[in-house]
Structure 1
Amino acid sequence: MEDLEHAAAVFAEVRPRLFGIAYRMLGSVAEAEDLVQDVWLRWQTSDRSVVTNPAAYLATAITRLAINATQSARVRRETYIGPWLPEPVDTSADPHLGAERDEALGFAVLLVLERLSPTERAAYILREAFDYPYSQIAGILQASEAATRQLVSRARKRIVADRRQPVTSVEQRKLLVAFVAAARTGDLAALEQLLADDVISYSDGGGAVRASRFPVVGVQRVAKYHKAFAERFWAGVEVDFGTANGQAVAVLHKDGVAFAVCTVNASAEGIDQVLWMMNPAKIGRTLG
């Protein structure tokens, strides 16, 4: 019993980091929690007497499980109804989800990570979010250190190439507040002024609620799209501004129930992405 209590104490200490790795890999709170629980069960039944570095052992276990889970998730998302967006997670209590830095937590980076291979994603997350040395990452991934450095380098280049330099968190919040105000009133001119020319609006309803099943692209189309449903969509809606994934979000409530989370990603050219998370399964767990 004493040994199990010690094992539980060791696990509890590293649990935030394990969840942080799994969430960044999968973009899903529920799937990340399932993996953490799986690692806990393995830790209980393992021969802990031969483990010299429990934190490294557990990080290896969660990463390898996450790589396998990511491969399965990619297959499932091929049949997902409409755009898939990462599940918002409340970062107000634990801003870094067990990380030394908030890298690979914002929605823009998570969306780019979705397009990387599972091993590229894992290497990038372990290095950039948790500052693991290349030698340890190589051991976790069962690759050479040189190959590991290449994985991280490729991931970095892809992320830089696929997104513009983001605005500050203060500016992002200002743009989000302005966007919500313009969308709520259907102010076409104000919307067009806020949006970048090549803006993309994504709506993730998961087939559970009515939402656009295709991304809306371009400043005029995105502006007109939000103007078109302004009157019926915003009737009786209350908006609370909060923080998820380290950035400002608007949580929309109707009759006291959260039904949508909206955020924007922006650069010096304006709002590049409008993200609508409307799948009830993704909202109620963490922000409802």
Structure 2
Amino acid sequence: MTFGITDEVRGRLFGVAYRLLGSAHDAEDAAGEGVLRWQQLSDENRARVREPLAWLTRVVSRICLDQLKSARAKREQYQGVWLPEPVLESGRAYEDSMAVDPADRVTMDDSVSFAFMVALERLSPAERVSFILHDVFGVPFADVAEAVGVSAAACRQSAVSARKNLRRQRRFDVATDQRDTVVAAFLDACRGGDLAALIRVLHPEAVAVADGGGAVRAALKPIVGNEAVARYLIRSLQLQEKKAVDTPTYAIRSVNGRSGIVVEVDGHLVGTVDISIADGTVTGVYLQVNPDKLRP
């Protein structure tokens, strides 16, 4: 059977790389480099590869692993809070094309939420690669070991360690229709400047974080507590509207494969909001306003 580099294959590789790197542009580069290496193989060598998709996944994962090792130092020096680049259109990169069942495993949608990807930053590169490949994409530990460059047993232990660290992260999210309702209520309260309504939508221990990258004014530390978060959000929106020549527009759109909020001024993207939800209330607000991460 002839193996072709289809949109589904590219989506799969991008999905792996994005979850590992947190950067859409870097993920595209890593996936493209993996495809290029496949195309540069001789026909004879390609014929020897029994599972081309698994081969490509390992290659892209190794490329990402090298980048993760250098990225840790850069993110420690990052000005303010680091958040991933948003992906505004869902597609094959988010499809659960490989069924994974155990309760410990996260869903594909959870694994691209801002809250979850921020939590992944606390893992070592080996833990992150082992966890994402095995628990999210269902890759056997024997194949994970080839990507990480250690034994399968070591990869299994890395995944166990990653799960322990990630269990501290609150499980967020609700069914899609419920999520849409909560997101809409959140946006209405923000746009209307209704402090009391916004406090009601927020969980008492809600957290808001913003990534301005030093280029845009944003809180340098997380804001904690529903009242503090509500006041911060309303004040930020009011400041945005005052300094904007054109009135900002707010729309509920797909942000990382699920409903979020997109902010535009004169047709230009100036911010995205990803929201974590539990028990019908907003537990986390993740504002990406760094212009370097909002390029088309």
TM-score range for the pair, normalised by the shorter chain length? 0.7 to 0.9
SS of aligned partner of 1:203: strand
* Greater shift in the superposed pair: 255-264 or 93-102: 93-102
Structure 1 unaligned segments of length 5 or more: list them: 1-5
Match of 2:92, SS? Answer: coil
Task: Supply the AA of the counterpart residue of 1:238.
Answer: T
Q: Which amino acid aligns with 1:245?
A: N
Aligned equivalents of 2:12, 2:78: Cα separation in 1: 29
Does residue 19 of the first structure (1) align with residue 6 of the second (2)?
no
The ranges of structure 1 where at least 4 consecutive aligned residues each deviate by more than 4 angstroms after the TM superposition are 10-13
Q: Structure 2 matches for 1:259-278, cutoff 5 A?
A: 259-268=270-279, 270-278=281-289
Match of 1:202 in 2: 209
Q: Which residue of structure 1 aligns with residue 239 of structure 2? A: 232
Aligned to 2:252: 241
Unaligned runs of 5+ in 2: 99-106
CA distance in 2 between counterparts of 1:270 and 1:32 reads: 32
One-letter code of the match for 1:117? Answer: S
Structure 1 distance, partners of 2:156, 2:87, is 30
What is the correspondence of 1:178-197 to structure 2 with a 5 Å cutoff? 178-197=185-204
Distance 1:35 1:230 in 2: 36
Structure 1 counterpart SS, 2:111: coil
Match of 1:157 in 2: 164
Matched residue, 1:52: 49
Q: CA deviation at 1:98?
A: 7.6
Distance in 2 (alpha carbons) for counterparts of 1:166 and 1:210:
29
Deviation at 1:195, TM superposition (A): 1.4
Cα distance in structure 2, aligned partners of 1:270 and 1:176: 9
Name the CA distance, whole Å, in 1 between partners of 2:123 and 2:155.
14
Give the superposition deviation at 1:34. 1.5
> How far apart are residue 27 of structure 1 and its match?
0.8
Contact between 2:172 and 2:283, CA under 8 Å: does it hold in 1? no
Return the letter of the residue paired with 1:77.
R
User: Percent identity over the alignment?
Assistant: 35
Moved more, 113-122 or 266-275: 266-275
Q: CA deviation at 1:234?
A: 4.0
Instruction: Verify: 1:176 aligned to 2:183, yes or no.
Output: yes
Contact 1:184 1:234 in 2 (8 A): no
Within-5 A mapping of 1:28-39: 28-39=23-34
The aligned counterpart of 2:265 is 254
Whether contact under 8 Å (2:180, 2:259) holds in the other structure is yes
How far residue 11 of structure 1 moved from its aligned partner, in angstroms, is 7.2
**Greater alpha carbon shift after TM alignment, 139-148 vs 254-263:** 139-148
Question: How big is the shift at 1:99?
Answer: 4.5
Change (3 A) 1:47 1:78: same
Root-mean-square deviation (Å):
2.3
Q: Which amino acid aligns with 1:120?
A: E
1:85 to 70, 83, 86: 83
The offset of 1:41, in angstroms, is: 3.3
**2:10 partner letter:** R
Question: 1:284: Cα distance to partner?
Answer: 2.8
3-state SS of 2:183 partner: helix
Contact kept in structure 1, 2:260 and 2:273, CA below 8 Å: yes
**Secondary structure of the corresponding residue to residue 214 of structure 2:** coil
User: Which deviates more, 36-45 or 210-219?
Assistant: 36-45
SS across alignment from 2:287: strand
Provide the rounded CA distance (Å) in 1 between the counterparts of 2:8 and 2:265: 38
Q: Secondary structure at the match of 2:219?
A: coil
Structure 1: distance between partners of 2:81 and 2:140: 35
- Select the residue among 84, 105, 130 that pairs with 1:123: 130
Q: Is the 8 A contact 1:20 1:98 kept in 2?
A: no
Q: After superposition, where does 1:133-148 map in structure 2 within 5 Å?
A: 133-148=140-155
Q: Secondary structure at the match of 1:162?
A: coil
Q: 1:35 to 1:165 in 2, by over 3 A?
A: closer
Count of residues paired in the alignment? 279
